Amino acid sequence: MQCFNHQNLAAIGVCHSCGKALCAHCALDTGEGLVCHSDWCERRNALVNQSLEANARIMATANRNMRSGGIFSGMIGVVMLIPALLLFRHNPIGGALLAVPGMLFAMYGFSRLARKNLYPTIEHKPAVPEHALEDHR
Ligand SMILES: [Zn+2]
Ligand SMILES: [Zn+2]
């Protein structure tokens, strides 16, 4: 692959914003991907990376909320089921009235806890070894 601007030079990568092939002179390594020496490509790349990070944070929070919501519902269910069982001996109807919502809460809570992450998450990106860039120059 040749550089978009220099037909005689080999490209070391493509711009993360506009997709043009870039040689070592044309590529700017932002630390978050190569871009052209262009304000627009640089800003767009930064914006894309910021958006991805913001999204990852939001999704991680949503996953945590789902788990903590599951724990909360499960606890409410258990708290309702214990007196329901105690009540059941003397007052079966009253016990059942308490046991049914208690079981629903508990089942709802456990189903939320049993589910895998609702949203995809991403770990910290692996560091790119230096020689990976050098080899193509
Ligand atoms: Zn570009
Ligand atoms: Zn070039």
Residue with tokens 């220099």: 6
Q: How far apart are the first and last CA of the chain?
A: 12
Give the number of other Cβ atoms within 10 Å of residue 73's Cβ. 20
Residue with tokens 């930064």: 46
Ligand 2 centroid to residue 28 C-alpha, Å? 11
Ligand 2 centroid to residue 8 C-alpha, Å? 9
Ligand 2 centroid to residue 20 C-alpha, Å? 10
Orientation of helix 39-88 relative to helix 92-114, angle to 10°: 160
For 14-69, write each residue's pLDDT tens digit: 999 999 999 999 999 998 889 999 999 999 999 999 999 899 899 989 988 999 99
For 56-110, write each residue's pLDDT tens digit: 899 989 988 999 999 999 999 999 999 999 998 899 999 999 999 999 999 999 9
Ligand 1 centroid to residue 121 C-alpha, Å? 28
Give mean pLDDT, residues 113-118.
Answer: 80
Q: Which of 36, 65, 35 has the alpha carbon at shortest distance from 49?
A: 35
Threshold 0.75, pTM exceeds: no
Q: What is the pLDDT of residue 137?
A: 46
